[in-house]
Amino acid sequence: MQISIGALTLLNNVLLAPMAGITNLPFRILVREFGCALAFTEMISANGLVRKTGKSYRFLNSSLNDKPLGVQIFGSDPAVLFDAAQVVSDYGADLLDINMGCPVKKVVKTGAGAALLRNPEQARLILRAVRKATSLPLTVKIRSGWRQGEIKALEIAHIAEDYGINAVIIHPRTADQGFSGTADWNVIKVIKRHLCIPVIGSGDIRSPQDAYNMLTSTGCDGVMIGRGALGNPWIFRNIISFLE
């Protein structure tokens, strides 16, 4: 099934998640050969892009057969994210994602990633700044909240829609869960029920049946595959065939 995110129409609704140390150019090209509709770079520091550090720019390496390309950036300063969004636009990305879900301590301690789930006002300022900076299709990737009892996903999703973000990607684990336990797909269902923009679900998809179950039980518009693609790039082909 095709899915449109802003002006970008994808051939299907099965996407590759941004994964640090994993989703480099060779990996992205590999999964595209198995039908992945949209692949993301590794998470890139907005500060690094603005300061023009070589490491950050290397994450933008791409090629003609690496399309359409999603670039994910993270940071906590709206002004820096504004500038970084313009850098990404100039590099020819097809879509920009703002990370508001990474639970890694070195990211969270800077106020970025999942820390923004505890600071909706800062998230609002960031999304407003990035929307002003670029005409690219924009997404935001979030978790369900910081911890149980602090479930902020719906609030952040509403903010995203209000400020012109074109889709919300939700991994329904809390930040303090990391990758333990199970993803609460009901969070995806709730967000989808309340938004008009596309909602893409992620978390615990390791088979075509899992993808089908998420789509049908939550009503989400697409699925994003992360760890389920490690050592298993053909999962994209298998899911697409199963859904057909």
Scored b (16 or more CB within 10 A) or e, 169-197 reads bbbbbbbebeeeeebbbebbbbbbeebeb
Cα separation, 219 vs 212, in Å, equals 10
Residues of the domain holding 86:
3-243
**pLDDT score at 1:** 85
Per-residue pLDDT at 145 = 87
Q: Whats the size of the chain, residue-wise?
A: 244
Task: Write out the two tokens for 237.
Answer: 């082909």
Distance from the first to the final alpha carbon of the chain: 8
CATH of the domain at 142: 3.20.20.70
| Residue 179 pLDDT | 79
pLDDT at 149: 78
Q: Would you call the peptide bond into 68 cis, given omega within 30 degrees of 0 as the criterion?
A: yes
- Tokens representing residue 110 in the block: 């800077």
Amino acid at 147: R
pLDDT of residue 151: 83
The confidence score (pLDDT) of residue 153 equals 94
Counting as low any pLDDT under 70, the low residues of the chain are none
Q: Which of 36, 102, 196, 220 is catalytic?
A: 102
Supply φ then ψ for residue 119, to 5 degrees. -140, 70
168, 152 Cβ separation under 8 angstroms: no
In this predicted structure, what is the pLDDT of residue 56?
94
Domain count, the chain: 1
Give the separation between CA 197 and CA 157, rounded to whole angstroms. 10
What is the tens place of the pLDDT at every residue in 126-171? 999 999 999 999 999 999 988 887 788 999 999 999 999 999 999 9
Q: Rounded to 5, what percent of the chain is helix, strand, coil?
A: 40, 20, 35
Q: State the pLDDT at residue 181.
A: 82
Q: Which helix (H) or strand (E) holds 142?
A: strand 138-145
36 classed as catalytic: no
